[in-house]
Amino acid sequence: MQRQTTIAKKTDFARKWYIIDAANKPLGRLASEVAVILQGKDKPNYTPNVDCGDFVIIINAKQVGLSGNKVKNKFYYNVSGYTGGLRKRSAGVMIDQYPCEMIERSVWGMLPKGRLGRQIYKKLFVYEGSEHKHQAQQPEVKELKF
């Protein structure tokens, strides 16, 4: 008897909304767990070429944790394309001024690149404080494994 592989379609998934509190959570572990939820890898009918993940709201981004000396020694780079157009910001500056961008960058680095990855990335919402504007979706609080 041969087993049949089920190919899931986009309409086969019921999408949920989850709230994750980033306060005092390590940035890398948080980003990897969120990437798994966004892609749908935690579901039994995961299909790699279909967007089957759920929506994720991350709150308290300003209180995310970094271990070791990463606050001083880790840098984020942007290049404008012009001569001398390199901008370098430390992780400490990112936490103080751009905490949402820091989490978004770390999650984006763990998602697939291309059309599907960009579609998956649009289901991520990051907020500095504990307030968000998605009460109408009735999100569930999700506790992470670590």
What residues does each domain of the chain span? 16-66+99-141
CATH superfamily of 16-66+99-141: Ribosomal protein L13 (3.90.1180.10)
Q: In this predicted structure, what is the pLDDT of residue 146?
A: 76
Q: Is the model's pLDDT at 136 over the cut of 80?
A: yes
Average pLDDT over residues 119-146: 95
Name the pLDDT band for 5 (thresholds 50, 70, 90): confident
pLDDT of residue 3: 76
Rounded to whole angstroms, the Cα distance separating 142 from 144 reads 6
Write out pLDDT tens, residues 30-85: 999 999 999 999 998 899 999 999 999 999 999 999 999 999 999 999 999 999 99
Average pLDDT, the chain: 94
The mean pLDDT of 104-120, rounded to a whole number, is 97
Provide the pLDDT for residue 127. 97
C-beta of residue 62 within 8 angstroms of C-beta of residue 95: yes
1 pLDDT exceeds 80? no
CB 38 within 8 A of CB 123: yes
Residue with tokens 């290049």, as numbered in its chain: 79
